[in-house]
Amino acid sequence: MARQPTLEFWFEFASTYSYLAAMRIEGLAEAAGVGVRWRPFLLGPIFASQGWTSSPFNLYPAKGRHMWRDMAREAARLGLPPVQRPPDFPQNSLAAARAAAFGADQPWIGAFTRAVYEAQFARGESIAEPGSVAALLNRLGLDGPAIVKAATSEPHKSRLRVVGEEAKSRGIFGAPTFLTEDGELFWGNDRLEQALAWATGERPPGLR
């Protein structure tokens, strides 16, 4: 049997379009015969290095208005529940990202990632507090407080900084981003299907 190709899925918990990708990627990847490598990261430092002090959807109100409307349309089109806005946007995603980075190679990473996004964008709940993250882990039958505590201690605590440097060095500027094993970068939920096809060796005709 041939080796299964892998696609890296770089996501930020505060990112709305990362939510759409997170809800879809496991099913689509399985159908395509592609493995998913979950790469939680923080977009804040990358945005800050571009001079942005908040989400571009807040900094540019017209862009933000379109995004929320587009999210409503996309959620309906993809069969997801109506989008709810969390109490603050963007949410502080540090606690969730730390737990996800701690569990990135664990069998529960997909379920946990979806649980965080559903709490935030399908139920409009805050995911900012470590206690909220622990509760979501508990509901998956895990020891939430233990995981949150471990994720906040060294050496795990500093992992997100290293991951952030990797993201920048590999050309990541937004989320979601999909990276194939040969380094092809696809940005945005709209490119998930293309990224999976690329991972299986498909190429657009005549592409140089």
Contact flag: residue 50 with a copy of itself (CB under 8 A) = yes
Give the binding-site size for a copy of itself (rule: CB under 8 A): 33
For residues 96 and 176, give the distance between their C-alpha atoms in angstroms, rounded to a whole number. 16
Helix axes 109-117, 16-32, angle to 10 degrees: 150
Which one among 76, 140, 146, 162 touches a copy of itself, defined by CB under 8 A?
76
Under DSSP, is residue 190 helix (H, G, I), strand (E, B) or coil? helix
Q: Binding pattern to a copy of itself, positions 168-187, x when CB under 8 A?
A: x--xxxx---------xxxx
Give the CA-trace dihedral at 102, 106, 112, 113, to 10 degrees.
Answer: 70
From 124, 129, 121, select the one nearest 11 (Cα to Cα): 121
Using the rule CB under 8 A, give the single segment among 37-45, 74-82, 84-92, 137-145 that binds a copy of itself: 74-82
Q: Does residue 123 interact with a copy of itself by CB under 8 A?
A: no
Supply the minimum distance, in Å, between the C-beta of residue 11 and a copy of itself. Answer: 16
In the complex, least distance from residue 134 CB atom to a copy of itself, rounded to whole angstroms: 33
Q: Which of 63, 85, 139, 149 binds a copy of itself (CB under 8 A)?
A: 63
Helix pair 144-152, 94-102: axis angle to 10 deg: 90
Cβ atoms of residues 137 and 100 within 8 Å: no
Query: For residues 70 and 62, what is the distance between their CA atoms, to the nearest angstrom?
Result: 12
Among 102, 132, 138, residue whose Cα is nearest residue 117: 132
> Which position among 48, 72, 140, 162 is part of the footprint of a copy of itself (CB under 8 A)?
72
62 is an interface residue for a copy of itself by CB under 8 A: yes
- Binding flag, residue 82, a copy of itself (CB under 8 A): yes
**Residues found near a copy of itself in the complex (CB under 8 A):** 50, 60, 62-63, 65-66, 69-70, 72-74, 76-77, 79, 82, 168, 171-174, 184-187, 190-191, 194, 203-208
